[in-house]
Amino acid sequence: MSNLANLQLTDDGQLRHFLTPEGLDRLMLERILDTADSFVVVGNQEVKKVPLLRGRTVVNLFFENSTRTRSTFELAAKRLSADVLTLDIKTSATSKGESLLDTLQNLRAMHSDMFIVRHSDSGAAHFIAEQVTPDVAIINAGDGHHAHPTQAMLDMLTIRRHKGHFESLSVAIVGDILHSRVARDQIHALKTLGCTDIRLVGPNTLMPHAIDSMGVTTHNNMDSGIAGVDVVIMLRLQTERMASAFLPSAGEYFRLYGLTTERLAQAKTDAIVMHPGPINRGIEIESAVADGSQSMILHQVGYGIALRMAVMSMAMSGQMQQRQALALTLNPSRLTGEPRP
Amino acid sequence: MSIIIRGARLIDPSQQLDIVTDLHIKNGHIETIGNLTDVHAASEINAKGMILSPSFVDLLTYLRDLNQIQKGSIASETKAAASAGFTHLCPSPDTQPCSDAGSVISMINSKVVAAGFCDLLPVAALTKDLKGTQLSNMEALSHAGCIGFSNASYDIDDNNVLLRCYEYAATFGLKVFVQAQDQQLGGGHMHAGSTATRMGLDGIPVIAETLSISRHLQLMQHTGVRGHFSQLTSAAGVEIIRLAKAQGMNITADVGIAHLCFTDTAIEGYRSQYHVQPPLREESDRVALLTGVKDGTLDAICSAHQPHESAAKCAPFAATATGMAVYDMLVPLIQRLVDAGDLTWTQAIKALSSNSATIAIGQTTSLAVGGEANLTLIDPNHSWILNSSNQLSRGTNQALANQQLKARVKLTIKGGHLSYTM
């Protein structure tokens, strides 16, 4: 855990990579949310650009398809005035390791400043950060079933903007926890931000081993699971889960775990409903709920850009500081004002 | 060649021997044990403070040759084995080409003999090309010197095939070696537990092992084949073996040194050096494995040495190759267990030497006077740092690289000759 935190921070505790909220302290997560809050305003301005990343090169390194996440990162980078290069790289199943390393070496040689990484293997962003440190800042845009920290943090931003705090909240996360890269990060972030009642709702086939060790409670029954909660986070269900025998049918899943108006009535009256999108109407969530007044789904999309702008600018700034510190160590004359040899 | 080793602590579990004295080797055999102050030999070694034991027998190793030279060669890996105190090796049959034919076994053997560090105790493939469909020529392979048959880490799905494998092996009194892990349930990358869940890595549940052990035990009982279970990982697995032995089943079992020393939390931070199959499990499992070794439920400790080139371990965790290069750190790992009070040297030597020899060839190793001199001399106080300049295995996947280690093999003697000296 500590080594994850260390890898993400500069020597003086600034964010330099954003791989997972795990290991980051409350102050850091709040700083991310505060910065994101300030960027929400930028999105409402007529001119939506700020010059924070001018002259910097951001490479979208997507080893796995994701139009939505990729576009929001691209938009966030452009609003920060960065030069953006987007690469879709299909991994070869036989020699993933070599080809990934080779790709990284090449991109590094192009003097990129930041990689936005999406990969189907858990730990891929971590691996890439280890390989490219200290030259390039890494933002994890989703790795395997491990983490999707910008999605989790935009969910935190949504909760904070609409609930104001985390301490006394009850939050239910419903659905395919097992395959969700967001759920783990949501749990880490919620706990760090002070939330103590986190409930996971779903059948045993979609519940990871020993998940209660993360300080959550598990519920097989949707009605009791969401009873009295302030926030309901619905997870997307991949349709291939039926073919791989995790579930019998979409119909049965919706009957047991779909969020309907009647079911939502079990939660607090002012409960908010969130979903990372894209939503499967009639499988995870009823249209009336998705489009209803308690739904935050479209807000989440807007906050997503602000949140990504926040972590990109913070990590870039941390990375630059670290590079300058390193340059000073290697060439102290720059500090003392002595002429260079 | 005449060698006198003076003042070592002689440990021989087969004779309940544990004394500090001298030992004289002459003409390939143990000539005398006792005070040899007045006797002299061409080579004399002051072994005060060291441990002298029968040499070790490895029930599972990977020598990589023939077609995986980038990972290791028979010369490099058998030398590394000798430096860990081994004189006899049972390589896994999943060689390239597969060890399912006498010609392959004899090619491997000729390379092992040419290298001269160890002797081969070949375990051949149970099915042709390890595909789990057709029996290998077991009887002929046993005549060619194979001491047992294994399908390596490839589970045989078809119960008909597995039943016939065991029936056929039982017909000729042959022994089968089993790595018990259900193939479907074993599809993950590490132990299914809280660490895997947090890291988002697919888990391998304990039931992948216990279900498989139970299945193999039923078939062994039904066919009467002699069975040996390799590399147990879990407390529940140990308990099943314990019960089966208590019921009188003629089975044996071993554990890999890594599973006695490390747990799944070592993988924290996606450390691919700890990516092994079967997976490292939890502390409670590690403790149960140690108890198993101490109470004899687990007869032997194997190395499961698997050298890799650096690229094989340099990728996102799931894409990295499984296995650990073990030979260069085996004795320091045992010393750690001894220092922690988890195991005594006598228990370790029993598991690495006398018991493993009995499993492989039906007779124990020993320090008996008159017997062939196959010996390991260990300096338990030698302090050193393992690094690329002193490692002998070609594998770069050394989990303890650049760490301060304690204990090292001083010399290994095979057939009365020095096969390794520090």
Q: Which residues in chain A are closer than 8 Å to B322, comparing Cβ atoms?
A: none
Structural domains present in chain B:
2-51+371-385+402-421 (2.30.40.10), 56-361 (3.20.20.140)
pLDDT-derived band at A341, boundaries 50, 70, 90:
very low
Q: In the prediction, which pLDDT does A67 show?
A: 85
Interchain pair B194, A119: CB under 8 A: no
Interchain pair B198, A184: CB under 8 A: yes
Contact in structure between B241 and B297 (CB atoms under 8 Å):
yes
Contact in structure between A228 and A268 (CB atoms under 8 Å):
yes
Residue type present at position B388: S
Q: In the prediction, which pLDDT does A245 show?
A: 87
Contact in structure between A36 and A153 (CB atoms under 8 Å):
yes
Mean predicted confidence (pLDDT) in A153-160:
98
- At residue A4, does pLDDT exceed 70? no
Q: What is the DSSP letter of B317?
A: G
User: In this complex, is the C-beta atom of A96 within 8 Å of any C-beta atom belonging to chain B?
Assistant: yes
Distance from CA of A80 to the nearest CA of B (A): 30
Contact in structure between B325 and B276 (CB atoms under 8 Å):
no
pLDDT in tens, A88-137: 776 544 345 556 788 888 888 888 999 999 999 999 999 999 988 778 99
Could you tell me which residues come within 8 angstroms of residue B103 by beta carbon, excluding any fewer than 6 positions away?
none
Is B270 in a helix, a strand, or coil? coil
Name the token pair of B338: 């001894």
Q: Which residues in chain B are closer than 8 Å to A97, comparing Cβ atoms?
A: 311-312, 314-316, 319-320
**Pairwise pLDDT comparison (A25 vs A97), residue with the higher score:** A25
In the block, tokens 């069975």 appear at B227
Q: Which residues, numbered 297 to 336 in chain B, qualify as contacts with chain A under a Cβ-Cβ cut-off of 8 Å?
A: 311-312, 314-320
Distance from CA of B185 to the nearest CA of A (A): 13
Interchain pair A123, B197: CB under 8 A: no
pLDDT-derived band at A332, boundaries 50, 70, 90:
low
DSSP string, A115-179: EEEEESSTTHHHHHHHHHTTT-EEEEEEETTTB-HHHHHHHHHHHHHHHS-STT-EEEEES-TTT
CB-nearest to A122 from B192, B200, B314 is: B200
Interchain pair A143, B316: CB under 8 A: yes
- Spatial distance between the Cα atoms of A89 and B166, rounded to a whole number of angstroms: 47
Q: In the prediction, which pLDDT does A340 show?
A: 42
- Spatial distance between the Cα atoms of A75 and B388, rounded to a whole number of angstroms: 47
Q: In the prediction, which pLDDT does A2 show?
A: 44
User: In this complex, is the C-beta atom of A243 within 8 Å of any C-beta atom belonging to chain B?
Assistant: no
Distance from CA of B186 to the nearest CA of A (A): 14
Helix or strand holding residue B100 (H, E): none
Mean predicted confidence (pLDDT) in A270-282:
93
Name the token pair of A230: 């302030």
User: In this complex, is the C-beta atom of A122 within 8 Å of any C-beta atom belonging to chain B?
Assistant: yes
Distance from CA of A216 to the nearest CA of B (A): 12
- Spatial distance between the Cα atoms of B377 and A75, rounded to a whole number of angstroms: 67
CB-nearest to B269 from A4, A96, A119 is: A4
Contact in structure between B36 and B24 (CB atoms under 8 Å):
yes
- Spatial distance between the Cα atoms of B240 and B243, rounded to a whole number of angstroms: 5
Contact in structure between B249 and B217 (CB atoms under 8 Å):
yes
pLDDT above 70 as % of chain A: 92
The ipTM estimated for the assembled molecules is 0.88
Name the token pair of B46: 């002051």
CA proximity to B279, closest of B242, B247, B323, B320 = B323
Is A292 in a helix, a strand, or coil? coil
From the number of C-beta atoms within 10 Å of its C-beta (0-12, 13-18, 19+), residue B358 rates as middle
- Spatial distance between the Cα atoms of B88 and B119, rounded to a whole number of angstroms: 5
Structural domains present in chain A:
2-147+302-333 (3.40.50.1370), 149-299 (3.40.50.1370)
Q: In the prediction, which pLDDT does A95 show?
A: 47
Q: Which residues in chain A are closer than 8 Å to B311, comparing Cβ atoms?
A: 97-98, 101
Q: What is the DSSP letter of B354?
A: I
Distance from CA of A101 to the nearest CA of B (A): 7
Mean predicted confidence (pLDDT) in A191-206:
97
User: What's the longest Cα–Cα distance across chain B?
Assistant: 66
Q: Which residue of B has its CA nearest to A207?
A: B197
Q: In the prediction, which pLDDT does B233 show?
A: 98
User: In this complex, is the C-beta atom of A118 within 8 Å of any C-beta atom belonging to chain B?
Assistant: no
CA–centroid distance for B409 within its chain: 16
Name the token pair of B142: 């046993």
Interchain pair B311, A126: CB under 8 A: no
Q: Which residue of A has its CA nearest to B195?
A: A210
Distance from CA of B351 to the nearest CA of A (A): 33
pLDDT in tens, A232-271: 999 999 877 777 889 999 999 999 999 999 999 999 999 9
Interchain pair B269, A146: CB under 8 A: no
pLDDT in tens, B291-303: 999 999 999 999 9
Residue of A102, A127, A138, A192 best to disrupt the B interface, most CBs of B under 10 A: A127
User: In this complex, is the C-beta atom of A241 within 8 Å of any C-beta atom belonging to chain B?
Assistant: no
Q: Which residues in chain B are closer than 8 Å to A205, comparing Cβ atoms?
A: none
- At residue A84, does pLDDT exceed 70? yes
- Spatial distance between the Cα atoms of A45 and A64, rounded to a whole number of angstroms: 33
Residue ranges of chain B with per-residue pLDDT less than 70: none
